[in-house]
Structure formats: C-alpha cells, structure tokens
Amino acid sequence: MLKRRVRSRLAVTMSRLNETDIQGFVLRGYNLPLARYVFLHFADASRAVAFIRELLPMITTGQRWDGGKPQSTVNIGFTHRGMVALELPDATLLTFPVEFQQGMKKRAEILGDTGLNAPERWDEVWRDGQVHAWVGINALSAEALEACCSAVLAAIEETQGGTVLFTQDAAAVMVDGKPTTREHFGFTDGFGNPDYLGIARKSQPGQGKLMPDGSWAPLATGELLLGYADEAGELPVAPVPHILASNGTFMVYRKLHQNVATFRKYLDDYAPMYAGGREKLAAKFIGRWRDGTPLELSPDAPDFALTQDPARSTNFTYGADAAGTRCPIGAHIRRVHPRDAFGFQGRLINRRRITRRGLPYGPVAAEGVPASDADDRGVIFMALNASISRQFEFVQQQWIEYGNDSHLGNDKDGLIGNHDGKGKFVIQGDRTPANPPFVCAHLPNFVELRGGDYFFLPSITALGMIAMGLVDPR
C-alpha cells in the first residue's frame, strides 16, 4: 500500500525522461548477443566532426522498441583527449571532472591498478593515450553486426573522420545455441543493475535503493544522468554548457582478462579441504551459485526457479546474516552492492551505485574443456555513472581493492582483486558439517586488467551540437 503511494507521488513529481534524447546504451542493456567496440583516433577536428554528423542518424536512442528489437544498435562516447581533438572550446573542456580529464591510466594508483594490472602491462592501444572515441555496436546476428559495422566504417571512410585504432569483439556465451548471461568462470551475471527515477524499465525488488519499510525504490536520476538531481538532491558535477551535459553520462571501459585455468586450478586445489565442496566454494567467492541463485536466499543448493523469479532473484538483504555464514562478508556481490550490510538502512551505498553493461570476449571454454590463461578471454566491463570518482572509483578503491568498510582489513575482493599471490578470502561458516569456516589463501589474480579508459556519452542533442560546432560555454 505504502509502495503504491510512494510510486504515485513520484509519478506526480517526476515526468518520464525524454528517451529520444538519451543514448539507448545508457538507458537499457540491449540484451543483444554480439558486440563490436570500435576505437577511433581523430587527426583532424573538422573531418571528425563531419563523421559525427554522418553518424548521428545511426545512433540508437533510448526510445522504446515497441516495434520489436532492432537488428543492431550504434552508440558513441569520447575520451577527454577526444573532445580536445574535436576542438571543443577550452572553457568547456576545463569544466569536465578532473578524473575524466585525467583518464583511467593516470588514476591507476587510486584504483589499485598496479603490479599485474599496471598500465605498463596493458594492451598497446591503451598505453599511449591515442583513443579518442568508442563506437559501440550491438547486434542480434553476425550478419547484422557486419552490416552495421560496414555502415559505420563507410561513414569514417567517406568523411576521413578518423583512424580505427582497434576493434574489440564481444559476445554472449552460447549454451545449446542460445545466448546466456554467463561469463567465462561459469557464473551467471547481470542481475544487479539499479533502477532510476523516470527510466521505464522492467524493475524488480533489490535493484534500486532500500527504503525504511524494506521496500525498494528507484535511485535518483542524477546518479546516472547528468542534469538531474542525484541522491544528495544536487546536480552532479558536469561540464558547461548545461545542454552539453544534460542527458549524458560517463562510461568506464575496462578490459578484464580472466585467468580461467588459474581459477579452475585454485578451486581444484582448495575444494578437497573444504567440506562444502567445489561448487559451494565457487559460489562463496561470488555470493551466487553458478546459475545465479543468491547464497543469501539459498545457501545450501542452487535453485534455478529462484533465479527466474524477478520478485526474488535480487530481493534480499544481509541484515539477518551479519556474520556472513550464508553469503560471506567478502563475497563479490556483497562487496560491490552491500545493500543494508553497513547499517543505516542501506543509505550509505545509494551514492555508490553503478550501472553495468558489457559482454564476455574470447573463446568460450565450457567446464571440462581445457583452458589456458594465455587465451585472450575475459569480460568487457563497462560502467555508467554520473560521477566516475564518487561512484565507480569509490567502489573499485574501497570495496574491491580494500576491505575496511566491511571490517575485512586489507582483504580485497576474492574474485577480482589485484592479489598477486598474496590475497586472502575468509569464508565465514557455522557448525553444520557442509558449511564450515574456511580461509582461501595465496590468492592469485583471477582477473587482470588489460586496459581501458573513461568516456563521455553525450545526449543526442549534445552530439548534434558537437556535430554542428555549436558548443558554446558562454
């Protein structure tokens, strides 16, 4: 009853967003199985601008797909260097947040991207700061992907708008001929994206912010989009003019290599010592069984029906599991989305949420099929947020590469932390035989960063302004 009242009040105060002015990639996960990310370098501002003008009609907006899914989608984002290359006015360029101006490489120390994850070890394309733009193409089929890419490349060629530095293919892992949301370690991914006010989306409990009565409500729009109030009631830091920023967002792009062989071997080595068994050990790392069943709701066995039920699959809190005996305190999903785990009815985390996009890349090695760490395989992680420093960087620094907020000292995220062989992950347990406490020691890097950067994804209006040279900060 209360929920309905809250909803209706929101409906009065917040009209729906102008979906046609927002890039579709920002508003929704396309759930298209194939993707190609094209990275461009702009040599000449006027030719690059001509390319953007040419591309503009192809950009997919957030308009709802009432007529069915399109065969393919196109979206675009720019690094700060890219916008310098586009010769936007200095008075605009200087108003972008510092972390965005610096780019991800310069933020390496803050992010814990050191050692095995250090920029010196990244793919060459990410080391020299030449990437100016990301063009993201998603498609339903290989034919549609090629057709769409050809059209984009033709626009580049025709306008001589830029140089293609690199393309990155990514694809959903197929099982029995059907695309899945599995990643290479075998876990089902993609449950936890937040809901935001004004964004029409199939929403489900557990995906927004926790309310005092235990219900879930959408986060403030300004946690995702520039130009709207955020959870503090303020407009996020954004470049001028306002119209350049409004309806845009920032994207973090990270190529995360997965050492599948190392992960499997680690499970093989440690599972014999763990009375819960290999699959439970794997589940404890992430906080979900491989099929996605949350440990918090079903600690003893996966329950596939639960994963298929939107009313339950993300609808849980950790308040009754303070000791972490069901879902370990350091499990990946509990770290990156602590829900109520830090007290204060979950309010401490509402300004630290990110929206994730992304797909696996590289050859699939199903469980039982041999895999080597040397295989080029991993996940393209893309996070969208209004403030990279307050949202993504905070989560990465404090909750993935550090453990103090969870009272875990220096422990890092067991699965994706930068451990370098020295990591530790404590699995809390109880007195039942199949759920003993256990310590995973000498953790290697199951995941290694191979590069990436920070991008600005402008609104359709802002893209038009860039394409027509109309960005005027005065």
Partner 1 sequence: MPNQNGSVFGLTILSPIIDDERVTPSHDLQIRRYLATLPTGERSPFAIAPGTHLARLVVMDDVIYVGAPACEEHLKSKYLVFETNCDSDLPAYIAGLAEYVPQHLDAVWSHCVGYPGAADRAALIAYMQKCQIDTTFFFAAVNNKTVPEALRALQTQRAVTDFIVRHQGMAKTNPARLQAEFMRFAAELKAKPIPPAGAGRHDAETSRPIKTGGHNE
Report the alpha-carbon distance of residue 358 to residue 256 in Å, rounded.
11
Q: Which of 52-60, 156-164, 229-237, 446-454 is the region at the interface with partner 1 (rule: CB under 8 A)?
A: 229-237
- Six-digit token pair at 191? 């449950």
43-82 mask for partner 1 (x: CB under 8 A)? ----------------------------------------
Residue 38 is which amino acid?
V
Residue 441 makes contact with partner 1 by CB under 8 A? yes
Report the alpha-carbon distance of residue 41 to residue 127 in Å, rounded.
14
CB-nearer residue toward partner 1: 54 or 411: 411
Report the alpha-carbon distance of residue 81 to residue 195 in Å, rounded.
31
Output the smallest distance, CB 390 to partner 1, in A.
6
Output the smallest distance, CB 285 to partner 1, in A.
16
Residue 399 makes contact with partner 1 by CB under 8 A? no
| Helices 45-55 + 142-159 axis angle, to 10 | 140
Report the alpha-carbon distance of residue 100 to residue 81 in Å, rounded.
10
Output the smallest distance, CB 398 to partner 1, in A.
7
CB-nearer residue toward partner 1: 110 or 164: 110
Q: Supply φ then ψ for residue 76, to 5 degrees.
A: -140, 145
Residue 424 makes contact with partner 1 by CB under 8 A? yes
* Burial label, 87 (beta-carbon count in 10 A; 0-12, 13-18, 19+): middle
Output the smallest distance, CB 409 to partner 1, in A.
8
Of 133, 145, 105, nearest in space to 48 by CA: 133
Q: Which of 96-104, 210-218, 322-330, 356-364 is the region at the interface with partner 1 (rule: CB under 8 A)?
A: 96-104
Output the smallest distance, CB 307 to partner 1, in A.
31
Of 184, 193, 239, 186, nearest in space to 377 by CA: 184
| Helices 278-286 + 260-270 axis angle, to 10 | 120
| Sign of the torsion angle spanned by Cα atoms 11, 12, 14, 15 | positive
Output the smallest distance, CB 427 to partner 1, in A.
11
CB-nearer residue toward partner 1: 96 or 361: 96
Residue 110 makes contact with partner 1 by CB under 8 A? yes
Output the smallest distance, CB 101 to partner 1, in A.
12
| CB 207, CB 216: distance < 8 Å | yes
Output the smallest distance, CB 43 to partner 1, in A.
33
Output the smallest distance, CB 109 to partner 1, in A.
5
Q: Which of 144-152, 249-257, 285-293, 439-447 is the region at the interface with partner 1 (rule: CB under 8 A)?
A: 439-447
For 106-210, where are the alpha helices, taking DSSP H only?
Answer: 108-111, 124-127, 142-159
All residues at 6 or more sequence positions from 437 whose CB lies less than 8 Å from its CB, including other chains: 426, 427, 428, 429, 430
CB-nearer residue toward partner 1: 39 or 100: 100
CB-nearer residue toward partner 1: 20 or 397: 397
Output the smallest distance, CB 67 to partner 1, in A.
40
**Given the structure tokens 């009272």, which residue do they identify?**
407
Applying CB under 8 A, among 77, 236, 241, 302 the residue interacting with partner 1 is 236
In the three-class reduction of DSSP (H, G, I as helix; E, B as strand; rest coil), residue 424 is classed as: strand
Q: Which of 63-71, 93-101, 165-173, 367-375 is the region at the interface with partner 1 (rule: CB under 8 A)?
A: 93-101
Q: Which residues 359-398 are close enough to bind partner 1 by CB under 8 A?
A: 387, 389-390, 393-394, 397-398
Size of the site for partner 1 (CB under 8 A): 25
In the three-class reduction of DSSP (H, G, I as helix; E, B as strand; rest coil), residue 36 is classed as: strand
CB-nearer residue toward partner 1: 10 or 273: 273
Output the smallest distance, CB 158 to partner 1, in A.
41
* Burial label, 295 (beta-carbon count in 10 A; 0-12, 13-18, 19+): buried
Report the alpha-carbon distance of residue 474 to residue 471 in Å, rounded.
9
| CB 427, CB 221: distance < 8 Å | no
Applying CB under 8 A, among 426, 462, 463, 466 the residue interacting with partner 1 is 426
Interface residues toward partner 1, by CB under 8 A: 97-99, 109-110, 232, 234, 236-237, 272-273, 387, 389-390, 393-394, 397-398, 409, 424, 426, 438-439, 441-442
